[in-house]
Amino acid sequence: MAIAHKQSNLLVGDIGMQIYIENPAIVEIGFTLAREEQGKGYAQEAVQALVCSIFELGYINQIVGITDMRNEPSIDLLRRLGMNLVRSDEVEFKGELCIEQTFELRREDWLLHKAG
């Protein structure tokens, strides 16, 4: 899905989700934003809306977000949404070794985070 600037409707990024085949109650989300548009709140608004939409379906129990540990803005965003770090793995990405961090948000924690 596209992330577009509200006034100009220009594309500033994208966001998506993937249901885990092995467990359809778990969804992984991902997002990218043009470098010059980062830090303006677009990603937070889009990811927050997607998380709400996913959990409001009623049958998704967990959302997962995976990011490189060097991507501090994405990590901060996932934490602001109430996600918790559950795992770190060394992986190869684009020919380079990196530490991939996996965050998760369970439905019951989202409900508490949303209420608080």
Contact 109, 82 (CB under 8 A): yes
Q: Which residues pair with 89 in a beta bridge?
A: 100
- Please report, for residues 28, 39, 50, 67, 97, the alpha-carbon distance to residue 72 in angstroms, rounded to integers and kept in the order given: 19, 12, 21, 9, 17
Domains of the chain: 2-115 (3.40.630.30)
**Nearest CA among 19, 31, 33 for reference residue 62:** 19
CA angle 61, 64, 69 (to 5 degrees): 155
84: left (phi over 0), alpha (psi -120 to 50) or beta: beta
Q: What pTM was computed for the model?
A: 0.90
pLDDT tens for 18-77 read 999 999 999 999 999 999 989 999 999 999 999 999 999 989 999 999 999 999 999 999
